[in-house]
Structure 1
Amino acid sequence: MEVRSRLENGGVLEVTDNGLGLTEGQQAQLFGLFQRVHTHVEGSGVGLYLVKKMVENSGGRIDVESQPGVGSTFRVYFNR
């Protein structure tokens, strides 16, 4: 896992992993409440939903880029 940050019209936090990765369909449902895309991994499907809501409530946004079998990069954009 790699974590990076930078100043760019506010702040950007990036978290990159070399995990299972996600298909486009999985990425589309990733931030939904109680949505789980990898059912063999423990979880309740609320974590990323809550992160997205907190970031959006503070005026920011979150997105993900991913490829199955390669990994994912999550980016959180914060306003100043």
Structure 2
Amino acid sequence: MHVECPGIETDFRVEELMFSRLNLRSIFANLLTNAMKYRSPERECRVKISSWAEKDKVVLEVADNGIGMPKGYQNKVFKMFTRMHTHVDGSGVGLYIIKRIVDNANGQIEVESAEGRGTTFRVHLPVCS
């Protein structure tokens, strides 16, 4: 599947993180793939990838202007085989895997979304000392 998203912006205030490279790659690959798959046909795809320090955590954020999710569905997306939209291919395990990775690292993942306006995922990972 070829998907274009010309509007990718980054704002990395934290440039280094002690974390499994493979797991970090899985987190970003899934969130970015979802942002592009669930883009809105009504506007140009925009994705912002950010990181910053917050107390004893590093926050990684992926925000898009895609189709979003209906209210009340945000926490359901982390369950295995759950899909909010069926018009694109997918198995419903990507966000479940990310949640497991983040939970196993003693972190948190949260989602904010508005149908027709986009979705923002925030991953909070502990700072290793």
Q: Same fold, TM exceeding 0.5?
A: yes
Deviates most, 16-25 or 68-77? 16-25
User: Residue by residue, what CA displacement relative to the aligned partner does 1:16-41 show, whole Å, maximum 9, x if unpaired?
Assistant: 00001012232131100000111111
Q: The residue matched to 1:53 in structure 2 has which SS? A: helix
Per-residue CA deviation, residues 27-74 of structure 1 (Å, 9 max, x unaligned), is: 131100000111111100000000001001000000001100000110
Supply the RMSD in Å over aligned alpha carbons. Answer: 0.8
Q: Pick from 74, 77, 91: which aligns with 1:44?
A: 91
TM-score under structure 1 length normalisation: 0.95
Q: Helix, strand or coil: the match of 2:69?
A: coil
Read off the aligned partner of 1:6 and give its amino acid letter.
Answer: W
**Match of 2:60?**
13
Instruction: State whether residues 75 and 111 of structure 2, in contact with CA within 8 Å, keep that contact through their aligned partners in structure 1.
Output: no
- Name the % identity: 50
- C-alpha distance in 2 between matches for 1:25 and 1:8: 27
Q: Which runs of 5+ in 1 are unaligned?
A: none
Q: Given the two structures, how large is their TM-score scaled by the length of structure 2?
A: 0.60
User: What are the ranges of 5 or more consecutive residues in structure 2 without an aligned counterpart?
Assistant: 1-46
Aligned 1:16-31 pairs, distance under 5 A: 16-31=63-78
SS at match of 1:35: coil
Q: Which has the higher contact order (CA 8 A, sep 6+)?
A: 1
* Secondary structure of residue in 1 paired with 2:66: coil
3-state DSSP of counterpart to 1:24: coil
Q: Is the 8 A contact 2:63 2:120 kept in 1?
A: yes
Counterpart of 1:33 (choices 80, 98, 121) is 80
Length, aligned pairs only? 80
Larger radius of gyration: 2
Q: Whose helix proportion is higher, 1 or 2?
A: 2
